[in-house]
Structure 1
């Protein structure tokens, strides 16, 4: 008599049906939809407890991201600079990276100025100078130049002055390179701390869908569609300008300069772009940006330098498109006529002063720096603060896309891009169990940049 399989093997375990894993992008989209619904309910029915809850959820998520910013930036920059010792012709690679940062910023600011001049975003808003409010602090060129060097080593971390943290990390990294083997214990410690910070930040990033509910819900509940209507032209200008750079300029540069498929770039970089849209923080997104850039075939040693450097200085959305449009908007509200010289100044500030934004949520410092350079009333900043969170999502997504784009372009031009990896890049989510983002566990190896481009 035959027996059933279960009788024949009584120790066999029953097959368990696994719950399908929801893709990270789908979690983000679900968070966006739920946030909009809850925000609408809160504003329509004046649900105060829900309003407070949404505010706290979004605030806690942003604070968790900021908590890791100071040490993450310091150790990421330090380790990335020391990783350049594994790259031949590193100085030329760094110089070309900076050059492409400037080129793409100039293109972005030109698009911002063009859109602003064509649409007149400050006309017909109903806003007046009385609606403006002067910010508590403002950026100036003197503050920018003198503020690079800290007065002590503690304050930049407690006050989250990212520019000063970058300065100290760069000095420490160069000093470590000069010391050679004597600095190895410090480098080993730095690499371990960076790996620890990265792991902790991954846990925060996993909370992004929940943070999305709070951030979007609070924005809708607090500002409402009526306020957005007053800034309709300006809001549309920012989103259209960023979209033109993100989906127009970047693909064109990839196709003509890097000579690679632009669609593959977006497939590979999408996890970082979508997280940037939600978190509104280039620095908070930096570990993901590093990994997607590596996945696009850029050598890890070069990526670990270019992306952290870009996350603190490369801001096509916040430091190019946005201040150009904002300057035109505020000038029209305050009835100030801008000339050719003013537009050239906006371009200059966008290229040189972009490090002032420092990759944090918002772009107030860059905006006040631009307005003070042009002599425009700083009260104009108050006009834009109410709508800023909604604008900042698209700005940051553009920032992060640019931070991944430039390493791809430079690597392709220098013939160190892995085209097989680039063409195989997919939009699958980045897992925190992937390889270390900053290459601190790599065996010693050299990435050779050809002597001639």
Structure 2
């Protein structure tokens, strides 16, 4: 006797999981939806208007603005929490990866040279736009908004900031209410990481166990960062929504010429300068922009070059740049190469402040802006915002630091475009240097295509699995007693027939 397995017509159908349906939406579309939703909710919050200020809510922000601000703050805080270990582990690993490369010093020198070349072109465009449009003389912003930033970037501050106060680069500050808050100095962590990386090279074979731990820790931190990046569409809603609700279109209207100058400069570098450099080096423009798009779009959303670094490195490797070089050039670029934050923006901002206060700028002042932009890029250290670089430029020119306050209202909106250009330029330099040094996988570059966040994550997971399988296979084939040997020890053992 057989039993029928056919379900009856009354059997309820399986309901669809809405979360699974959302996850299946391509990541780029999720970000785009987040952008639109952020603007809409920001406009709604602005229409609701402020509420009566209380002790718990001194600014009188309405519930929607508070919610948007909280969402955006949590997303940025999660990124910042992973930045210190990411800098430390990535820089050490990237320096160590060059130990087996015969032309490592040449690659490093060429990378820094191209960083300087692209920064020089970008700052020149910023100066030209500022000189033609005089953004500070055509603004409607009130002088009452002027205030000096709490974060200063004078040359003495920059130089003394290079010296680590402790091994972890952690700083503490006391609040007015007696509480103590901890923060990190990304520039100091960079210096510490470079010193440790060089020490690893000097120690040689004895540092292999340390490098294995460092490599494993970097994989863990990057996996955590991938998870945070997955929240970028939600973070976009909060960040953009809060910016629109808090500042609205009035602030952009008052600083319309300046905002237009910044974005025109960014687009000129992105869509004119970069394509020209690619063409001069015999590289396909379409292949590059298709390949780099995931990093560019994520940089626009996250406003953090360091937070975008795993994505930037992944797309750079997918475009044919060898891993040993990409793992050096991209982390270095994420901390020192800022065509948006450290070139175009500070040049235009300095001219704006000079126009606003009626301070004439001469040829020497413009040359100083160029010098500061090319040499002081590391001061931004890859995190959101460019206040340090701006105050460094203003202090060098002797301009009022209170001018920073005039631009703070629109900084989040400008920072999105600046960071997108930063990460695109970081990948561009790695591709160009690899091409000029004849280490670029040209077929892989030519076949570069626009891909999704999910595809990159899947490829990363597959690479990790392949590496684990290869390691397990090597352990299985190794003779008894050899399991405790390091890879370098195995290489030294004579081959047996």
Question: TM-score, normalised to structure 1's length?
Answer: 0.92
Partner Cα distance (2:301, 2:160) in 1? 33
Q: Is the 8 A contact 1:128 1:333 kept in 2?
A: no
- Point out where structure 1 has 5 or more consecutive residues left out of the alignment: 1-5, 8-13, 446-453
Which one of 412, 416, 419 corresponds to residue 439 of structure 2? 416
- Give the Cα separation in 2 of the matches to 1:105 and 1:124: 27
Task: Give the C-alpha shift of residue 185 in structure 1.
Answer: 1.1
1:28 to 14, 28, 31: 31
SS of match in other structure, 1:159: strand
**In 2, Cα distance between equivalents of 1:285 and 1:437:** 20
In angstroms, what is the RMSD of aligned CA positions?
Answer: 2.3
Match of residue 433, structure 1, among 458, 462, 476: 458
Displacement of 1:418: 0.5
2:263 aligned with 1:249: no
Residue matched to 1:225: 249
Work out the number of aligned pairs and report it. 434
Matched-pair contact (CA < 8 Å) for 2:169–2:189? no
- Taking the aligned partners of 1:126 and 1:41, their CA distance within structure 2 comes to 25
Quote the residue 1:300 is aligned against.
323
Residue 3 of structure 1 corresponds to which residue in structure 2?
none
Q: What does 1:362-377 align with in structure 2 at a 5 Å threshold? A: 362-377=385-400
2:335 is aligned with 1:309: no
Specify the structure having the higher radius of gyration (Cα): 2
Residues 282 and 359, structure 1, Cα contact 8 Å, conserved in 2 = yes
Aligned residues of 1:290 and 1:437 also touching (Cα < 8 A)? no
- Contact 2:329–2:430 (Cα < 8 Å) also in 1: yes
Q: Quick one: distance in 2 between partners of 1:229 and 1:19? A: 39
Q: Which residue of 2 aligns with 1:274?
A: 297
1:180 matched to 2:204? The reply is yes
- The CA distance in 2 between the partners of 1:183 and 1:301, in whole Å, is 18
The 5 Å alignment of 1:11-410 reads 19=21, 21-46=24-49, 48-156=62-170, 158-257=182-281, 259-410=282-433
Q: Distance in 1 between matches of 2:350 and 2:420?
A: 21
Looking at both structures, which has the greater relative contact order when contacts are Cα pairs under 8 Å and sequence separation is at least 6?
1
Question: In the aligned structure 2, how far is the partner of 1:241 from the partner of 1:26?
Answer: 26
Q: Distance in 2 between matches of 1:86 and 1:210?
A: 42
Alignment partners' CA distance in 2, 1:271 and 1:94: 26
The separation in 2 between residues aligned to 1:65 and 1:25, in whole angstroms, is 19
Does structure 1 conserve the Cα–Cα contact (< 8 Å) formed by 2:140 and 2:255? no
How far did 1:131 drift? 2.8
SS in structure 2 at match of 1:85 = coil
**Cα distance, 1:42–1:375 mapped onto 2, change above 3 Å:** same
Question: Whole-Å Cα distance in 1 between the matches of residues 321 and 161 of structure 2?
Answer: 33
Residues 441 and 403 of structure 1: is their aligned pair in 2 closer, same or farther, counting only changes over 3 Å? farther
* CA drift at 1:154: 3.4
TM-score between the two structures when normalised by the length of structure 2? 0.84
Residue aligned with 1:284, SS: coil
CA distance in 2 between partners of 1:270 and 1:393 (Å): 15
